[in-house]
Amino acid sequence: MLTLSPPHPTPAMLAAITPVILTYNEAANIERTLQQLTWADRIVVVDSFSTDETLDILARYPQVEVHQRAFDTHATQWNYGLSLVTTAWVLSLDADYCLSDDLVAELATLDPLGAVDCYSIPFQYCVFGKPLRGSILPPRAALFRRAQATYVDDGHTQLLQCWGTVATLKHPIHHDDRKSLNRWLWAQDRYALLEVQKQLEKGPTDLGWSDRIRRVPGLSAPIILVYCLILKGGILDGWAGCYYAFQRIVAELILSIRLIEARSHQ
């Protein structure tokens, strides 16, 4: 008689996690993100009415639940996504984030009933799939107890406010954005406008050191060049490291131009 082995039970932590993803025209990225989430019973996607193939790709994954909401700010969009979660833990992901295999294995070892309430996860930036030695991205609080956290807006992005004990995981999320240059430039200009608003509304003492540098138009671009290519070893990554450094310089210059423009109208 053939004896079938029982299926391996899902580790307790993985069963307690709902990934939440924001999307808007992410056809170039979302498939890679979902391929690393096959362990999840349910994935909540908050879509800002994509017009490309994003929704078609999402429909291929039965565990994906799509909710469409017009975008206003990142924090409100994220908090809406959190309101749809029924598990104790949330894994918040942008549509160009891919979990490394080692990170998935590390998640499986965590205790969902342990003392930690929030985990920061390091990033490894990729350029067209090639991992870089370093980037300007700090670890992000991305895995947390739903009842212990909320999002607030911070310039062009959002910050997670978490009440409780925070720890940092060892293995990274891969940030691998393969959208077109035109789309990237559109996004950077949009982000710059939000960062300018932050600069104008807050005084120097309310800003971090990087935002203080940005208050002097043009100053941040050469600093970013040295930081990315030399301090972070981008020059050793060849064309991929240069591509990333040039992206960051362009982003800083767009912000400088928008800041000068805004101050001229005050």
Give the domain CATH number at 122. 3.90.550.10
Which residues in 62-117 belong to E strands, given as ranges? Answer: 64-68, 89-94, 97-99
185 shares a domain with 141 = no
Q: Supply the DSSP symbol for 50.
A: -
pLDDT of residue 265: 85
Res 65: pLDDT: 98
Structure confidence at residue 13 (pLDDT): 96
Residue 8 has pLDDT above 60, yes or no: no
Q: How many domains does the chain have?
A: 2
Please indicate, yes or no, whether residues 164 and 187 belong to a single structural domain of this protein. no
Domain endpoint, select from 152, 175, 198: 175
Nearest alpha carbon to residue 255 among 158, 156, 126, 137: 156
pLDDT of 4 strictly over 50: no
- pLDDT for 192 beyond 60: yes
Average pLDDT over residues 249-264: 95
Give yes or no: residues 193 and 169 share one domain: no
- pLDDT greater than 50 at residue 2: no
Asked if 141 and 213 sit in the same domain, the reply is no
Last residue of a domain, one of 142, 175, 208: 175
pLDDT over 70 (residue 221) = yes
Q: Which residues pair with 143 in a beta bridge?
A: 91, 119
Do 61 and 134 contact (CB within 8 A), yes or no? no
Mean pLDDT of 24-53: 97
**Averaged over 175-180, what is the pLDDT?**
93
Q: How does strand 89-94 pair with strand 140-145?
A: antiparallel
pTM: 0.85
CA pair distance 90, 78, nearest whole angstrom: 11
Q: 153 pLDDT band (50/70/90 cuts)?
A: confident
Instruction: Identify the pLDDT of residue 50.
Output: 97
* pLDDT for the residue numbered 136: 76
- Last residue within a domain, chosen from 143, 175, 207: 175
Confidence of residue 134 (pLDDT cuts 50, 70, 90): confident
Mean pLDDT of 17-22: 98
Query: If you average pLDDT over residues 149-172, what whole number do you get?
Result: 88
16 shares a domain with 51: yes
- Assess contact for 237 and 243: CB atoms under 8 A: no
Angle CA(143)–CA(232)–CA(189) in degrees, nearest 5?
70
| pLDDT > 80? residue 43 | yes
* pLDDT at residue 1 is higher than 50: no
pLDDT at 182 over 60: yes
Domain limits at 238? 181-264
- pLDDT of 117 over the 50 cut: yes
Q: What pLDDT, on a 0 to 100 scale, did the predictor assign at position 5?
A: 43
Higher-confidence residue of 82 and 195: namely 82
Quick one: 207 and 126 in the same domain?
no
d(CA 241, CA 175): 14
What's the mean per-residue pLDDT of the chain? 91
